[in-house]
Amino acid sequence: MTSPTRILILEDDDGLRTSLRLVLEDEGYAVFEASDAEKALLTVEDPGVDLMLVDLMLGGMDGFSFIARARPRTEAPIVVVSARDRTEDIVAALEAGADDYVTKPFSVEEVQARLRALLRRPTIGDAETEDADDDVLTLDSRTPLLFDAGAAVLRRGEEEVHLTQTEFRLLSVLAEHAGKVLTRTALLQHVWDQDYFGDERIVDVHVRRLRKKLEVDSANPQILVTVRGLGYRLDTA
């Protein structure tokens, strides 16, 4: 028997947290609740979770700090649910390691759709990547950079470079279309979900994070380049 998907809700509004829990439990999810970040971090480690819904404005440790501390401990997708809708807040949350961002007020249906999209998304080790095409090899001025999608490994020389699930999926899609420009809309559809309706800023932030792992000088990219007015292209050797 398959174990239910485990979702952590980190939200200090008791009413909203309870409402989300009831809706998600009705869909068959196993839901863990926390109103403070320290307690939530314990849940991330034991028993572990498959996905997290995180508010940013919390008492004590805020959501940004929680995400930054949780990300090295788990690959589980993180969806921010917050009333803070300024660009700098969205970017900061994504830079900390969040995968998606939903602003309050929101419809429960929207949150459900975002969760389903993230849970449907192929991840490291899935069959889709095991049957991937040949390795994509990119050379920089110092050491070879090798992306083996089948083994889900990115290496710079002999050193393995860690990728989050979203970074892995983004690089996989770009590698599948190496040499071709992919628009932000196309990347949203391929990486996040076929019917994704989220904010294109998510793409820009994750591209920037991925560049830091691919490029010798991320300020002057040679591998993952921006095609102004169009989108992004992965240039391989």
Tell me, yes or no, whether 75 and 13 share the same domain.
Answer: yes
Q: Is the pLDDT of residue 131 over 90?
A: no
pLDDT category of residue 142 using cuts at 50, 70 and 90:
low
Q: Name the residue range of residue 30's domain.
A: 6-120
Q: Are 115 and 79 in contact (CB under 8 A)?
A: yes
Q: What is the pLDDT of residue 156?
A: 84
Does position 121 have pLDDT exceeding 90, yes or no?
A: no
pLDDT tier at 109, thresholds 50, 70, 90: confident
Q: Is residue 211 part of a domain?
A: yes
pLDDT reported for residue 3: 84
- The last residue of one of the domains, among 105, 120, 135, is 120
Is the pLDDT at 68 greater than 50? The verdict is yes
Tokens of 163: 């990728």
Say yes or no: 155 and 211 in one domain: yes
3-class secondary-structure state, position 58: coil
Residues of the chain with pLDDT > 90, as a percent, come to: 47
Within a domain: 1 = no
CB 85 within 8 A of CB 78: no
Given a cut of 60, whether residue 171 has pLDDT beyond it is yes
**What's at 160, amino acid-wise?**
E
Pairing of strands 153-156, 159-161: antiparallel
Distances (CA, A) of 163 to 88, 111, 124, 168: 24, 25, 9, 6
Q: Which of 112-121, 203-212, 220-229 has the lowest mean pLDDT?
A: 112-121
Assign 219 to helix, strand or coil.
coil
115 shares its domain with 85: yes
In a domain, 134, yes or no: yes
- pLDDT category of residue 146 using cuts at 50, 70 and 90: confident
Residue 170 CB neighbour total at 10 angstroms: 25
Sorting pLDDT into bands at 50, 70 and 90, what band is 166? confident
User: In sequence order, what E strands does the chain have?
Assistant: 6-10, 30-34, 51-54, 78-82, 100-103, 136-139, 144-148, 153-156, 159-161, 182-183, 224-227, 231-234
Mean pLDDT, all residues of the chain? 85
- pLDDT given at position 145: 84
CATH number at residue 100: 3.40.50.2300
**CA–CA distance, 65 with 80 (Å, rounded to integer):** 12
Q: Are residues 104 and 205 in the same domain?
A: no
Check which CATH number belongs to the domain holding 211 and give it.
1.10.10.10
- For the segment 162-168, the average pLDDT, to the nearest whole number, is 85
* 117 compared with 99, residue with greater pLDDT: 99
The yes-or-no verdict on residue 200 having pLDDT over 60 is yes
Non-local CB neighbours of 229 within 8 Å, separated by 6+ positions: none
Domain count, the chain: 2
Q: What is the distance in angstroms between the CA of the first residue and the CA of the last residue of the chain?
A: 46
Query: Which has more confidence, 10 or 157?
Result: 10
